[in-house]
Amino acid sequence: MCHYVRDIKQFGAPYGVCSSITESRHITAVKKPWRRSSRFEALGQMLLTNQRLDKLAAARADFEERGMLRPQYPTLPDKIISEDDAEEEEAIDSPRVEGSVVLARTRERSYPARPGELGNHIGVPQFTSLLQAYLRPPSPPPSSDEDDEIIPDDIDLDDIRNLAVFHSAIASFYSPSDPSGIRGMKRERIRCTPSWRKHGPRRDCALLVENEDIAGFKGMSAVRVRLLFSFTYQGTHHPCALVEWFKKVARRPDRQTGMWIVKPEMRNGSRLLTIEHLDSMLRAAHLIPVFGQREIPRDLRYIHSLDAFEAFHVNKYIDAHANEILF
């Protein structure tokens, strides 16, 4: 019977065997109570949910036997999930689009409403310069027309209105190969928060489309999200992200792993930071460190992993959609 331990670890099922019966019990005892929990230290909540459901089922059986209730199957309430406790990813039934990213519904109230103060608050003093660079239109091609409009070099940030910060964004994309809705749509959440479940900051990575005409990861870049925010400038709404860039190490994926390798892009000794419109963001990205020969310190926390390693694999095996686009 010693093989039971190994099989249970490999297959995650009693005796190493997963059947329809064990799966149905797993849904009732684990999946549904998990969805009703707050997702933070959920084990105690799940056990309490199961205990209460057992008591309700016993009470219903007793009442039905006494003739106090008609025998019927109770209907489950609609799933109500707060924005911060939503699933990291889930199937959705919505019209097909190749990909879109929108900010969360609820803004965070603890951030300054002025660009300069916001930059100091998040530890990015050059935030105003980055914002001006984002708002500055691209340079037009040379022209001999003397009546061309002269574009000012400086952008007046006093014209910015409704500056708001968010701790997450929702990416929706077409992925029929993954568990998805009836139209093949899937949704995942990109998080950027200074405190995630009392364990330090969480700043997710994402894929940024640079050239739609180039297929695969050659037309994209990997970035780490430092801030999700929106503002209104001259009557136009701008949902944006402050991102740190990674650059490709080679022109093709690694031969051994089949994954692209990226490393932090530096400029003047610091990480390259820019502000990008959310329309250029496709979905979340999963980066795996390229491990060297030295042992990893035991006190290294996951929140420091993107700063502790020199290079990263862009994981194309995280789901079917990533495998289809990261070639």
Predicted confidence pLDDT, tens digits, the chain (327 residues): 666 677 666 665 555 555 555 666 778 888 888 888 888 888 999 999 999 988 998 998 888 888 888 876 544 444 444 445 455 665 555 544 467 899 999 999 999 999 999 999 999 999 999 999 999 887 655 544 444 444 445 688 999 999 999 999 999 988 776 665 556 788 899 999 999 988 899 999 999 999 999 999 999 999 999 999 999 999 999 999 999 999 999 999 999 999 999 999 999 999 999 999 999 999 999 999 999 888 999 999 888 999 999 999 999 999 889 999 999
254 with 116, same domain: the answer is yes
Under a CB-based contact definition with an 8 Å cutoff, are residues 312 and 291 in contact? Answer: no
207 with 244, same domain: the answer is yes
Q: Is residue 71 part of a domain?
A: no
pLDDT score for 141: 52
pTM score, whole prediction: 0.72
Let me know the angle formed at the C-alpha of 312 by 308 and 317, rounded to the nearest 5 degrees: 135
Sequence-ordered list of residues with C-beta below 8 angstroms from that of 29, at least 6 positions apart, any chain: 50
pLDDT score for 238: 97
53 with 95, same domain: the answer is no
> Radius of gyration of the chain from Cα atoms?
25
158 with 250, same domain: the answer is yes
Q: Is residue 299 part of a domain?
A: yes
Under a CB-based contact definition with an 8 Å cutoff, are residues 74 and 64 in contact? Answer: no
Q: Is residue 73 part of a domain?
A: no
pLDDT score for 19: 56
Q: Which amino acid is at 293?
A: Q
26 with 59, same domain: the answer is yes
Write the DSSP string, 121-144. Answer: HTT-TTHHHHHHHHHSPPPPPP--
Under a CB-based contact definition with an 8 Å cutoff, are residues 70 and 64 in contact? Answer: yes
23 with 164, same domain: the answer is no
Which domain-ending residue is among 15, 50, 65?
Answer: 65
- Token digits of residue 268: 């003047």
- Token digits of residue 220: 């994209």
57 with 97, same domain: the answer is no
- Token digits of residue 289: 């460190």
